[in-house]
Amino acid sequence: MTSFGVLTGRPLVTGHGTENDFLLLPDPDGAVDPSAAEVATACDRHAGIGADGLIRVVRSDALPDGSAALAADPAAEWFMDYRNADGSVAEMCGNGVRVFVHYLRESGLADLPDGGTIVVGTRGGPRRVTRVGEQYTVDMGTWWLPSGEGAARDGHDVVVEIPGIDGPRGGLSLAVPNPHTVVALPDEAALATARLSHDPADAPRYTPVPPDGTNLELVVPLGEQVDGGHTVGAVRMRVLERGVGETRSCGTGTCAAALAVRIWGGAGSPDTWRVLVPGGEVRVQVEGDRVHLTGPAELTADVTLRG
Ligand SMILES: N[C@@H](CCC[C@H](N)C(=O)O)C(=O)O
């Protein structure tokens, strides 16, 4: 008999950002702290509602991680308590934070006029989210190369064996601030043949093994175009998310993908990137050691779990 534990009977809201989908748990006062097993069951696509992750919408002053966010930025009234579909926590979710802010706006918990900005607490630090019509631009903060600048010179710091792809490939590790490994493939046919799963018998293998696990982005650079007088790069991406499986989009992953392709492109590589994912398209803007992500957010249903 399936048990959703503390989630039973709680009003939940479903939503997605470029089809990276989430269960939102409104819990302003921090009264409901689901266990990893309860999150995993609710996110199971057969035994539960199904989602790539669960996001608790909670006031920052109601939990310890939120207090740290408030100390970093007193404007961070709300905290995105993000859990992967397997119940594990992650530092940041680039698609989720847009859906989070869209929910705050739609439910009247925050006033966000067009052009307005709100600060959201996350485990990766406070994030400023600006509404631009029906799109949201997230200041994703600083990014870095965990292996140091030498990795940028070499272009890779990890070897990845990917089921469905011939031979081992060089990958580049990036922190956004959650861990990502980006691997370039020669064309879209190769991208289509990759098998992306956490099944131990068919999972990618990394040398060295990433200490905190990793999200894996497979990318195919699509070239550059001039848009409004600016050069814009384009890249197609598939992603295997840590703690989830293959998803139709990953916001932090699109940032990692754009950053890696930009590094591989060398001097003169664009700062603005269109990243095409199975669930749609987002835009990534690099400003030195900071990165911004722009994309849509939607709410889809109000749901309640039965016992
Ligand atoms: N889908 C998210 C990333 C969620 C966290 C990730 N699976 C991890 O464990 O690091 C995004 O949109 O960024």
Q: What is the CATH number of the domain that holds 129?
A: 3.10.310.10
43 belongs to the catalytic site: no
**Contact criterion met (CB below 8 Å) for 282 and 295:** yes
Mutation test residue for ligand 1: of 21, 82, 92, 102, the one with most atoms within 8 Å of CB = 92
Residue nearest (by alpha carbon) to ligand 1 atom 2:
93
State both tokens at 186.
């020669």
The annotation status of 251 as a binding-site residue, yes or no, is yes
255 belongs to the catalytic site: no
CA 214/CA 205 separation, integer angstroms:
11
Chain centroid to CA 208: 23
* 178 and 229 assigned to the same domain: yes
In the chain, the percentage of residues whose pLDDT exceeds 90 is 96
Residue 208: other Cβ atoms inside 10 A: 10
CA 28/CA 40 separation, integer angstroms:
22
Residue 201: other Cβ atoms inside 10 A: 6
The annotation status of 241 as a binding-site residue, yes or no, is yes
Position 256 scores a pLDDT of: 98
Residue 25: other Cβ atoms inside 10 A: 23
* 153 and 51 assigned to the same domain: no
DSSP string, 85-110: TTS-B-S--HHHHHHHHHHHHHTTSS
Domains: count for the chain: 2
Least confident range from 124-128, 152-156, 162-166, 266-270: namely 152-156
Residue 165 pLDDT greater than 90, yes or no: yes
The annotation status of 48 as a binding-site residue, yes or no, is no
* 115 and 192 assigned to the same domain: no
Domain range holding 118?
5-141+296-304
Hunting for tokens 């918990």 — which residue is that? 109
Residue 46: other Cβ atoms inside 10 A: 6
The pLDDT of 151-175, averaged and rounded, is 96
Residue 96 alpha carbon, nearest atom of ligand 1: 12
* 50 and 109 assigned to the same domain: yes
* 70 and 93 assigned to the same domain: yes
Q: Which of 48, 58, 56, 55 is nearest to 20 (CA)?
A: 55
Position 3 scores a pLDDT of: 85
CA 170/CA 168 separation, integer angstroms:
7
Cα 117 to middle of ligand 1, angstroms:
22
* 89 and 176 assigned to the same domain: no
* 91 and 128 assigned to the same domain: yes
Position 95 scores a pLDDT of: 98
Cα 247 to middle of ligand 1, angstroms:
10
Q: At what angle do helices 94-106 and 251-265 cross, to 10 degrees?
A: 140
List residues near ligand 1 (CB under 6 A).
20, 84, 90, 93-96, 178, 215, 241-244, 250-253
Cα 3 to middle of ligand 1, angstroms:
25
Position 152 scores a pLDDT of: 85
**Contact criterion met (CB below 8 Å) for 11 and 23:** no
Mutation test residue for ligand 1: of 98, 101, 215, the one with most atoms within 8 Å of CB = 215
